[in-house]
Amino acid sequence: MRFSLFHNLGAPGRLGEYNVVMDEARDFAKAADEAGFWSIWYSEHHFGHEGFEITPNPVLMGVDIAAHTKNIRIGQAANIVTFWHPLRLAEDLAMLDHFSGGRLEVGVGRGLYGREALNLNPAADPRDQEQNRALFEETVEILQKAWSNEFFDHKGTFYEFPAPGVKWNHPMSPSTREFTDENNTITKIALSPRTLQQPTPPMWQVIDTPRSIKWAAENNYQGIFWLPPVSALKGRFELYRDTASKAQGREVSLGEGIALVRDCYVAETMEQARAEFEAAVMTSYKWITHWRGLGNLMEEGEELTDAHELDFDFLLSRNQLVGTPDYVAEKIEELRSEINLEHLMLWTTHPGLPARHARKSLDLFAEKVIPQFSELSGAVR
């Protein structure tokens, strides 16, 4: 079993000391690397003056983390690819793959907040879901073309590469039929550098809806889930398995190719874990469920009603790993037995949680929880 970290950075009230927050994040990643966690993942959010989501560039964040770690793999959950120029994102991720020695895991997403999309790429407007999806699919198609081919071209709804009508004439770069026509017009372009991992790095998508789950499985993207309780995850895991099996022409096992994010905090007692973690995790959920609502937190077959109220007790039995090492290990074993979970991403660093508490939980998880799963292949790198 793989254990990784989801590090969606938030620091309300601390934007004036952003450099200190980054130092804390760097120390957390170094500790995770030394403890043997498989990977660490950074999110992408913009214009967050409130301080709840403060990493605008997970690629740049990954470059720094790569320079301070040795083995831990570095992912993005996710690059919001609809906000990026596809060739620039392809170049930047390829550089990160080289800087990290081939430790890149590429996570992609479509974007949720209009405040971000409309100020970065109006075509990504989440109010037009069909256009947003089309832009997403075309962008990731370009990423993979650029990484896996020496020369490539693309003509789609949103982008055309190379731009038509550009001539090439330079004595140090002889025109050849690989990238020009008989009139020296450029017909293909080449990314420099391409990724170290060939033909592409491992690809992941943050998914939840049936349509997204099926698209990821059909296109050989690994999936990242987050919110739903285990009863509601079963059908999602089964849909991914069945779709992937058909696409790959083999029997994909339940849980294969899937990672699950769970809020996690480990302390010596149940009471201490709740006392130290509750305020921080509730800050995240109050921020996020304002946009998403509580629907994704319902048990399978449960109807959302006005009686449902967001508080820690509501969350605890649904999707939290908060308590003593033995209790948390017991909840992880439940995930393994119910949905054959193979890859767990822990989210401890919620907004407002002191760095010393996040580090204490990390150390305790590594010392007392991971060894309980060490007999499983891949529990530690």
Determine the Cα–Cα distance for residues 190 and 146; give it in Å rounded to an integer. Answer: 7
Instruction: Give helix 58-68 / helix 18-35 axis angle, nearest 10°.
Output: 50
Q: Give 169-185 pLDDT, tens digit per residue.
A: 999 998 899 999 999 99
Say what the pLDDT of residue 379 is.
45
Q: Give 50-74 pLDDT, tens digit per residue.
A: 999 999 999 999 999 999 999 999 9
Say what the pLDDT of residue 221 is.
98
DSSP string, 124-179: G-TTSHHHHHHHHHHHHHHHHHHHH-SSB-EE-SS-EESPTT-B--BTTB---TTT
Determine the Cα–Cα distance for residues 315 and 295; give it in Å rounded to an integer. Answer: 12
Please say whether the beta carbons of 97 and 196 come within 8 A: yes
CB burial string 117-132: b at 16+ within 10 A, e below: beebbebbbbeeeebb
Return the amino acid letter for 228. P
Q: What is the mean pLDDT of the chain?
A: 96
Q: Which residues of the chain have pLDDT under 50?
A: 377-381
Q: Where are the beta strands (DSSP E) in the chain?
A: 2-7, 39-42, 73-76, 79-80, 104-109, 154-155, 160-161, 203-206, 222-225, 258-266, 320-323, 343-347
Determine the Cα–Cα distance for residues 180 and 138; give it in Å rounded to an integer. Answer: 24
With a CB cutoff of 8 Å and minimum separation 6, the contacts of 348 are: 5, 263, 264, 265, 277, 358, 361, 362
Q: What are phi and psi of 200, to 5 degrees?
A: -145, 160
Assigned CATH class of 2-373: alpha beta
How many CA atoms does the CB half-sphere of 323 hold within 13 Å?
Answer: 14
CA angle 295, 236, 253 (to 5 degrees): 160
Determine the Cα–Cα distance for residues 56 and 195; give it in Å rounded to an integer. Answer: 22
343 Ramachandran zone, left/alpha/beta (phi>0; psi -120 to 50): beta
Say what the pLDDT of residue 324 is.
98
Say what the pLDDT of residue 374 is.
82
**Exposed, middle or buried, 277 (CB in 10 Å: 0-12/13-18/19+)?**
buried
DSSP string, 286-297: HHHHHHH-SGGG
